[in-house]
Amino acid sequence: MNKRLIEKRLGGVIYPGLDKDIVSLKTIQKIEPKGDTVRIELTIANESVFESIESQIHDVLKNDFKFIDIAFLANKKPSLNYGNTNKPNNRASYAKYIIAVTSGKGGVGKSTVSVNISVALAQLGYKVGLLDADVYGPNTPRMIGVNDEKLQWNDEDKMIPSENYGIKLMSVGLTTPKSDTPLVWRSSVAVSALIQFLEDVAWGELDFLVIDMPPGTGDIQLTMAQELPISTSVIVTTPQAISTDDVSRAVMMFKEIGVPIGGIVENMSYFIAPDTRARYDIFGSGGGEMIAKRYNVPLLGQIPLTMSIRETSDAGKPAVVTDDETQKSYYRNITQNLLAQMGILWL
């Protein structure tokens, strides 16, 4: 088998975390077939994905060669020289400000808050990018109505972010073949994909890069703090005691690693019955305010539990764009409060 045919076969080997093959990404440095043996040399930015690529290569060539020698060349590894939380790298120098949105636990509406803050910033005239770093639950494409789009590349071999409602979005949800494709990744592979989303996406110049973090206090939160000079953060909770217990850990993690905390958002604060207008504190009350006082951080706002916010999110129409003025005001006020905390009042 000649080199051209081997290279064609290798076009079916996909780089983990990206919807692109190792041939088009120019990771193959050498192909040397000799009898029943072939040697392939690869230059890969992240050593942690080598095992997956090696396995794929063996699968596509196992019927053609008895011996398959795959070599990993580490001469491009400097791109993964991680910073630290005291002196972070700046892998997003194209963004003036970076806002991290996180939560202590899942299911509290963190992605909904991320999307609506991003769109609210765009409504103020800012250039905004939204990075969906919640790789195991990438919901933002649906929330801004681009869930049917797939990843595209420009002539400079950069990923093209999806756009809607005035914001640019990059999410692993745009890279999977089908919406129900599971992402069975170790944390090192997930981190590698996010570094790619920071460096290899055609973001253009941004005023704000909003990052929708995964819930909890893990590798991705720590890596983002090492690789980005985060300007401020928003921590989302519900009033429920279980949620506030978890969000306390998120607050302490950000305090300990030096990430500025812009404030707390209490989501699903209460429910107003549409027929009687009676108020029900379904998840308890005062949790967000309690956390804010305990850790001396601002309470940016409270968002009630409403059917319309759920419906607009599911329909890909953010509440801050399509809902009534009352619903819009929750996110606009939170965004304006956050900007005030950052010392940014005008364009």
32, 56, 80 - which closes a domain: 80
The arithmetic mean of pLDDT across residues 122-144, rounded, is 92
Q: Is the pLDDT of residue 318 over 80?
A: yes
Q: What is the model's pTM?
A: 0.77
347 found inside a domain: no
89 found inside a domain: no
Query: Residue 129 sits in which domain range?
Result: 95-342
Confidence of residue 97 (pLDDT cuts 50, 70, 90): very high
129: Cα separation from own chain's centroid: 11
Residues 65 and 137 in one domain: no
CATH number of the domain bearing residue 9: 3.30.300.130
pLDDT at 77: 42
pLDDT at 75: 42
Q: How far apart are CA 202 and CA 341, in angstroms?
A: 29
Q: What is the pLDDT of residues 113-123, one digit of tens each?
A: 999 999 999 99
Q: What is the pLDDT of residues 1-59, one digit of tens each?
A: 788 899 988 999 988 877 678 888 788 888 999 888 999 998 876 667 888 898 999 99
Residues 211 and 244 in one domain: yes
Q: Is the pLDDT of residue 103 over 50?
A: yes
Task: Please tell me the total number of residues recorded for the chain in this structure.
Answer: 347
66 found inside a domain: yes
Across the chain, what does the average pLDDT equal?
Answer: 87
- Give me the helices (H) in 269-324, please: 287-295, 307-314, 319-322
Residues 215 and 168 in one domain: yes
Residues 151 and 33 in one domain: no
Q: Is the pLDDT of residue 181 over 80?
A: no
Residues 69 and 210 in one domain: no
The arithmetic mean of pLDDT across residues 219-247, rounded, is 89
Confidence of residue 76 (pLDDT cuts 50, 70, 90): very low
Residues 219 and 74 in one domain: no
Confidence of residue 333 (pLDDT cuts 50, 70, 90): very high
Residues 159 and 197 in one domain: yes
Q: How far apart are CA 222 and CA 218, in angstroms?
A: 6
Confidence of residue 167 (pLDDT cuts 50, 70, 90): very high
Residues 209 and 279 in one domain: yes
Count of domains forming the chain = 2
| Residue-wise DSSP of 186-233 | -HHHHHHHHHHHHHSB---SEEEEEEEPPSSSSHHHHHHHHHS---EE
Q: How far apart are CA 79 and CA 46, in angstroms?
A: 8
87 found inside a domain: no
Q: Is the pLDDT of residue 206 over 90?
A: yes
Q: Is the pLDDT of residue 129 over 90?
A: yes
Residues 107 and 220 in one domain: yes
Residues 119 and 61 in one domain: no
Q: Is the pLDDT of residue 311 over 80?
A: yes
Q: Is the pLDDT of residue 266 over 90?
A: yes
Percent of the chain with pLDDT over 70: 95
Confidence of residue 334 (pLDDT cuts 50, 70, 90): very high
Q: Is the pLDDT of residue 101 over 60?
A: yes
Among candidates 79, 23, 14, which has minimal Cα distance to 47? 79
Residues 283 and 221 in one domain: yes
Residues 68 and 112 in one domain: no
